[in-house]
Amino acid sequence: MKIFDSLKQIKFKKNRPTSIQITYLVQKSKPLNLKSFSAHQDLEVSKINHIPISYYRFLYNTIGAPWLWYERRLISDQELSNYIHHPDIHIHILYKQKIPIGYSEINLKNKKRIDFVYFGLMPWILGQGIGSWFLDWNLNYIWFFNPDEILINTCTLDHPKALPNYLNVGFKKINIVEKNINLSKIKKFINQTNYQFTNPTPLSIKNKNV
């Protein structure tokens, strides 16, 4: 039994491009309504230095599959390591009763314009109000570095509450881009690589026979 059944809810025409909308947002001041930085009952956040590649892929694949995250699946382990093991890439894992239930990835290479790269929860933990707390936790963390602005983006394939949640904590839209992608091939590629937590060489959607 697959845990990625939510993929089946996505409707598309086989082998035809589907248009998606990517919304880019910015936050230029710390919101006054952020929840406390303090710990939530049963929740713990840990910054992970030099996270094992297979563990990162487990988090990325499991959290991102319902929303068709696929880009990191394509690159090799070495390419991924070169990026995520940079000292200015901060990865945090959210635990509930010692079980990983979410993760975030923040790019601090430019301390003035910090890129909030990834943020998500395990599929089975959605709908419990934890996402908004974890979002606030990350924003509190980022504002500790006193940036001029925080950048984030979301698309129409993401959780339907993603964009409203970002707007509710003070992000403002700065650009909207239309992009054509082949959802049929991406979905098949994701299903074929759900449990592939190591990539010795780069992959492509084509060479996965999709």
pLDDT per residue as tens digits for the range 171-186: 999 999 999 888 888 8
pLDDT at 8: 41
* Residue 9: per-residue pLDDT: 42
Could you give the number of structural domains in the chain?
1
Gap between the terminal Cα atoms of the chain: 21
Instruction: Give the integer Cα–Cα distance in Å for 127 and 3.
Output: 16
> Does some domain include residue 3?
no
- Count how many residues are written for the chain: 210
Give a yes or no: residue 9 inside a domain: no
User: Is residue 210 assigned to a domain?
Assistant: no
Q: Supply the range of the domain harboring residue 71.
A: 17-199
Whether residue 136 is contained in a domain is answered as yes
Residue 6 lies in a domain: no
pLDDT digits (tens, 9 = 90+) for 93-114: 999 989 999 999 999 999 999 9
Note whether residue 60 is domain-resident: yes
How far lies 12's CA from each of 17, 157, 162, in Å?
9, 12, 21
User: In which band, very low, low, confident or very high, does the pLDDT at 209 lie, cut at 50, 70 and 90?
Assistant: very low
Of 16-20, 34-38, 71-75, which one has max mean pLDDT?
71-75
The average pLDDT across 72-98 equals 95
Structure confidence at residue 47 (pLDDT) = 97
Burial class, 33, CB count within 10 angstroms (exposed 0-12 / middle 13-18 / buried 19+): exposed
Residue 28 lies in a domain: yes
- Has residue 63 got a pLDDT over 50? yes
**List of E strands, the chain:** 18-27, 43-47, 89-96, 99-107, 113-121, 149-155, 172-181
Mean pLDDT of 7-22: 60
Question: Domain with 163 in it: what CATH number?
Answer: 3.40.630.30
**Mean pLDDT, to the nearest integer, of 70-86?**
94
Supply the pLDDT for residue 128: 87
Of the listed ranges 2-6, 101-105, 119-123, the least confidently predicted one is 2-6
Residue 79 has pLDDT above 70, yes or no: yes
pLDDT at 208 over 50: no
Evaluate whether residue 42 is within a structural domain: yes
Model's pTM, two decimal places? 0.85
pLDDT at 201: 76
Strands of 172-181's sheet in order across: 43-47, 89-96, 99-107, 113-121, 149-155, 18-27, 172-181
pLDDT for res 39:
61
